[in-house]
Structure 1
Amino acid sequence: MTDPDDGLPPLPRLHLALEVDGDGAHPAAWRHSGRPPGAVLTPRAVRDVVAAAENAGFGLVTFADSPLPPGADPDASPYDPDTSPYTTPYDGTRPAGRIEAGTRAAYVSVLTDRIGLAPVLHVAPTEPFHLATQLASLDHASHGRAGWVVGAAAGEAALATVGRAPLSAGELRRETADVIDTARALWDSWEDDAVIKDVATGRFLDADRVHHIDFEGASFTVKGPLITPRPPQGQVVVLAPDALEADTRADVVLVARPDLAAVAARAAVARESGAPLVFAEVEVVLDTDTPAADRLAVLDEAADWPESGRLRHVGSPEALVALLRQLAESVDGVRLHPAVLAADLPVLTGRVLPELSATGLWQVPRPGATLRDTLGLPRPANRFAAPAATHA
């Protein structure tokens, strides 16, 4: 694969993911969405943005989520009527809210046929068994296109929503590792051929091919097995932010660093740890009829956009293409975070992606492909399959 007539060496293939939560990554995005704030909570809003991403050729969409509503003070008590975002009436000065990420992904799973769907599910506020079941169900509903962005909400306000005390950084890392290990074991708890549907004997499944996992973690135990058959992908694709230090357990490490050199350095660490794929996190504000810098200034007047540690591109579509070409030298993919979906996504789909396709840097996923197919990841063998091979 070479670029046409530019004399450059062959380019690697770059996977493209898109974050589609709410109206965009900027806290003031809802003010520039072109629709009433409450419209973000409608099925149409979810359907339209995912359809636009799939039609453009993105390989994956992700759905951010939090135990607290968007725009909420993370230090506010969810049970204090003076500070709680749950009890304060909506006044039109903040985002209207969000639907749970797994629910959004499940809704569009039957409306799409090739784009991966990866909700954020948080390890600390969510029971590991239910988390694994929800993701396995999403993989079945989407015919093998489910991913999981590992969420790490563990502060006082977030965990007060489920009656837990906040976790230290070390405790969160341990719990993250335990939850990922539990989910992976549960996805293997049914062998691929456990469902036999034997009409003659009246047996739906072979019980010898359904296994207890008997997992004991630092703060929980899970016996299993899962209540759903093994996911079509065998294992749901796990995407872990690099800050969680879960490189050895992830299929994709999401690297948030503010410059190219730092991204390349962290990507190298992830690869040395054995991570199959590394994606860079990139926030984008693009030129439209208004220069990107002017657009960002207007957004920032309404609300500060806190530094996230991610690369942030503010400028032309052509400059973004050049940035992505540079990133392709050190990472396998990019997750884009448009500042305002209504403004930036049309520029991405109309100007950035066609240019990437023309250079051979990026390719549209094929219909019917699993997310693992799209990402070039093999389907893992079931950990219980070898000892069960002698079963009749």
Structure 2
Amino acid sequence: MTARKLHLNAFLMGVGHHEAAWRHPRTNPSRLSDIRHYQQLARTAERGRLDSVFLADGLALGDNVRHNALGGLEPLTLLAALAAVTEHVGLIATVSTTYNEPFHVARKFASLDHISGGRAGWNIVTSAGEAEAHNFGVERPAHRDRYARATEFLEVVTKLWDSWEDGAILGDRHAGRYADTDRIHTLDHTGPHFRVRGPLNTSRPPQGHPLLVQAGSSEDGKEFAARFAEAVFTAQQTLAEGKEFYTDLKSRLGRYGRRDDELLILPGISPIIGSTEREALRLEKELEELIIPEYGVRQLSTILGVDLSDHPLDAPLPDLPDATEGQQSRSKLVTDLARRERLTLRELINRLAGGRGHRVVTGTPEQIADQIQEWFTGGAADGFNIMPPILPGGLEDFVDHVVPELQVRGLFRTEYEGRTLRQNYNLARPISRFEQKVSVTS
């Protein structure tokens, strides 16, 4: 038994994370835009006492919709509907700092936090894709420029959340005073990217600040996470890589006056589960046989920033320049994987099909739990971002079979610790930076 407990997030993606999931008989791609599908998934995650569900997002249609079920629902709108059918599970949405404005984002997340009773979380991304830039009529900003904008963006958003102090709403109908305007503050923020007066026109969120999540693993990304993030979704392939990332990121917190337990590191893992190892391997093989190589090559080309469409499938990956823009950390992870295991292009796209660079683990519930426990106790993770290969079945298998195994081992909760996402992540509720100190005289 251990006092330290795992944190588990369910990463919901359409009908599954495997790129061929939509072709498998256990899925139904017509449900991609069906709210009942996502409500079922959220209730399943809550039944398993998972900390949160997470929706990724991009601002362009993914490459080659001809061969994959792409084009889902806008995440904040969707999470508001999930809030209505759940009570405890956290609700985390991806929203870009590159093609939004701080006031819009602050208001939307404050609203979601109120609607859900304090369960909102924001996955902060900087939109690396060229197609996204073209949808807004601009050229893709440089990597460092995107993070500079993101830093100021987040500063403005948190100031807006703080612009109402906790005691600002009086509701004194007898005196005719709804709010104490001395506790509602303008920002008058002026910076390189934004000019925002404030205050926010939505009162302070129940959590103070919705949970702040980040997923970039470049040097700029790690520094941004060390300064601001409270949870990090990351991708490593080996235990050694996981421990190195974990130690590196935690070591950066001190220079921002933060403790190790103020940031949770949650590597992605895609579990292919069977009642026996043979059954799990059969499911893995079924999915592999449904892969369309053309699609995999296009996806890999996007990650690496190099067109591989004419490269032989059964040849090793060619020599590639270091990535300077786009998905820097993911490009390095994929290249390192190909070199370390001497994979051909075909083998590499098969390996990436299940998790796009996240670790795929195939086996029985006990074997999956063994892998989770090894990383958790070995200093490589505070929990995991669970990426079911097929949905809804893959999430149901994890909740019904892996979660009980983790609970028996004393690694995972049997009941929620609280009602808010911060309470379940064991993270403090921040006070408003404008909070007035009320003196007490005797």
- After TM superposition, the score normalised by the length of structure 2 is 0.77
Number of residue equivalences: 365
**Does the Cα contact within 8 Å between 1:13 and 1:328 map onto a contact in 2?**
no
Q: For 1:35 and 1:44, how far apart are their aligned partners in 2?
A: 14
**Does the Cα contact within 8 Å between 1:118 and 1:147 map onto a contact in 2?**
yes
- Give, in angstroms, the shift of residue 241 of structure 1: 1.0
**Does the Cα contact within 8 Å between 2:24 and 2:287 map onto a contact in 1?**
no
What amino acid does structure 1 have at the position aligned with 2:12? V
Q: Secondary structure at the match of 1:341?
A: coil
Which is richer in helix?
Answer: 2
Partner of 2:432: 382
Find out whether 1:236 has 2:190 as its counterpart: no
Partner of 1:223: 197
Partner of 2:164: 190
- Give, in angstroms, the shift of residue 96 of structure 1: 5.0
Moved more, 111-120 or 306-315: 306-315
Partner of 2:72: 98
**Does the Cα contact within 8 Å between 2:269 and 2:360 map onto a contact in 1?**
yes
**Does the Cα contact within 8 Å between 1:293 and 1:315 map onto a contact in 2?**
no
> Quick one: which of 215, 219, 230 aligns to 1:251?
230
Q: For 1:286 and 1:152, how far apart are their aligned partners in 2?
A: 33
Question: CA-to-partner distance for each residue in 1:271-321, whole Å, 9 max, x for gaps?
Answer: 122252222222222236452431342243475345744222133322210
Q: Which runs of 5+ in 1 are unaligned?
A: 3-9, 74-84, 86-90
Q: Which runs of 5+ in 2 are unaligned?
A: 254-261, 297-351
Partner of 1:66: 58
Q: For 1:12 and 1:44, how far apart are their aligned partners in 2?
A: 35
Q: Secondary structure at the match of 1:239?
A: strand
Partner of 2:303: none
Partner of 2:267: 280
**Does the Cα contact within 8 Å between 1:190 and 1:229 map onto a contact in 2?**
yes
**Does the Cα contact within 8 Å between 2:55 and 2:75 map onto a contact in 1?**
yes
Q: Secondary structure at the match of 1:23?
A: coil
Partner of 2:105: 131
Partner of 1:181: 155
Q: Secondary structure at the match of 1:41?
A: coil
**Matched ranges for 1:286-301 at <5 A:** 286-287=273-274, 289=279, 291=281, 292-301=283-292
Q: For 2:415 and 2:154, how far apart are their aligned partners in 1?
A: 27
Change (3 A) 1:96 1:310: closer
**Does the Cα contact within 8 Å between 1:20 and 1:62 map onto a contact in 2?**
yes
Find out whether 1:13 has 2:5 as its counterpart: yes
Question: CA-to-partner distance for each residue in 1:297-352, whole Å, 9 max, x for gaps?
Answer: 22434753457442221333222101110121222111111111233222211211
What amino acid does structure 1 have at the position aligned with 2:244? A
- Give, in angstroms, the shift of residue 158 of structure 1: 0.4
What amino acid does structure 2 have at the position aligned with 1:183? V
What amino acid does structure 2 have at the position aligned with 1:144? G
Partner of 1:366: 416
Q: Secondary structure at the match of 1:328?
A: helix
Partner of 2:338: none
**Does the Cα contact within 8 Å between 1:63 and 1:101 map onto a contact in 2?**
yes
Q: For 1:146 and 1:179, how far apart are their aligned partners in 2?
A: 18
Q: Secondary structure at the match of 2:92?
A: strand
Moved more, 14-23 or 147-156: 147-156
Q: Secondary structure at the match of 1:300?
A: coil
Question: CA-to-partner distance for each residue in 1:148-196, whole Å, 9 max, x for gaps?
Answer: 1112313321022233331111011112212222221111111001111
Partner of 2:336: none
- After TM superposition, the score normalised by the length of structure 1 is 0.86
Partner of 1:81: none
Change (3 A) 1:33 1:106: farther
Q: For 1:201 and 1:162, how far apart are their aligned partners in 2?
A: 49
Q: For 1:155 and 1:389, how far apart are their aligned partners in 2?
A: 49
